[in-house]
Amino acid sequence: MKAFITGGAGFIGSHLVDTLLKNGSSVTVYDNLSSGNKSFIHHHLKQKQFTFLQADLLNLNKVTKELQGHDVVFHLAANPHVRLGETQTDLDLNQGVIATYNVLEAMRQNNIKKIIFSSSSVVYGETTEPSLPETYGPTLPISLYGAGKLGAEGLISAFCGTFDFQTWMYRFANVVGARGTHGVIVDFIEKLRKNPHELEILGDGRQCKPYLYVSDCVDGILYGFNNSHEKMNLFNLSCDTTTTVTRIAEMVTEEMGLNNVLFKYTGGIRGWKGDVPRFQLDAEKINTLGWKATLTSDEAVRKAIKDVLHANL
Alpha-carbon separation of residue 121 from 18, 82, 172 (angstroms): 25, 12, 6
Residue range at the interface with ligand NAD (CB under 6 A); choices 31-39, 192-200, 260-268, 280-288: 31-39
Catalytic residue at 145?
A: yes
Whichever of 30 and 291 has its CB closer to ligand NAD, that residue is: 30
Q: How far is the CB of 106 from ligand NAD (least distance, A)?
A: 12
CA distance 205 to 271: 8
CA distance 97 to 289: 30
CA distance 2 to 10: 19
Strands 232-237 and 114-120: unpaired
Residue range at the interface with ligand NAD (CB under 6 A); choices 50-58, 225-233, 238-246, 247-255: 50-58
Q: Classify residue 90 by burial, with Cβ atoms within 10 Å: 0-12, 13-18, 19+.
A: exposed
In sequence order, what are the residues at sequence separation of 6 or more whose Cβ sits closer than 8 angstroms to the Cβ of residue 61?
none
Whichever of 186 and 263 has its CB closer to ligand NAD, that residue is: 186
Looking at residue 44, what DSSP letter applies?
Answer: G
Residue range at the interface with ligand NAD (CB under 6 A); choices 27-35, 107-115, 136-144, 254-262: 27-35
Task: Check 101, 124, 145, 170 and give the catalytic one.
Answer: 145
Q: How far is the CB of 235 from ligand NAD (least distance, A)?
A: 13
According to CB under 6 A, which one of 58, 140, 158, 269 is a site residue for ligand NAD?
58
Contact 108, 147 (CB under 8 A): no
Beta bridge partners of 171: 119, 236
According to CB under 6 A, which one of 20, 72, 80, 203 is a site residue for ligand NAD?
80
Site for ligand NAD in 171-210 (CB under 6 A): 172, 174-175, 181
Strand order across the 50-54 sheet: 50-54, 26-31, 2-6, 72-75, 114-120, 166-172, 232-237
According to CB under 6 A, which one of 19, 34, 131, 228 is a site residue for ligand NAD?
34
Q: How far is the CB of 49 from ligand NAD (least distance, A)?
A: 20
Whichever of 57 and 251 has its CB closer to ligand NAD, that residue is: 57
Residue range at the interface with ligand NAD (CB under 6 A); choices 19-27, 77-85, 127-135, 222-230: 77-85
Alpha-carbon separation of residue 111 from 15, 124, 162, 272 (angstroms): 27, 32, 13, 42
Q: How far is the CB of 79 from ligand NAD (least distance, A)?
A: 6
Contact status: 143 vs ligand NAD (CB under 6 A): no
In sequence order, what are the residues at sequence separation of 6 or more whose Cβ sits closer than 8 angstroms to the Cβ of residue 4?
28, 30, 66, 67, 70, 72, 73, 74, 112
Contact status: 279 vs ligand NAD (CB under 6 A): no
Q: How far is the CB of 175 from ligand NAD (least distance, A)?
A: 4
According to CB under 6 A, which one of 3, 99, 222, 295 is a site residue for ligand NAD?
99
Q: How far is the CB of 26 from ligand NAD (least distance, A)?
A: 19
Looking at residue 98, what DSSP letter applies?
Answer: I
Contact status: 249 vs ligand NAD (CB under 6 A): no
Prior bond of 138 cis (ω within 30°): yes
Q: How far is the CB of 214 from ligand NAD (least distance, A)?
A: 8
Contact 19, 44 (CB under 8 A): no
Rg (CA), the chain: 19
In the complex, which residues of this chain contact ligand NAD (CB under 6 A)? 6-7, 9-13, 31-36, 56-58, 76-78, 80, 95, 99, 118, 120, 172, 174-175, 181
Residues identified as active-site: 145
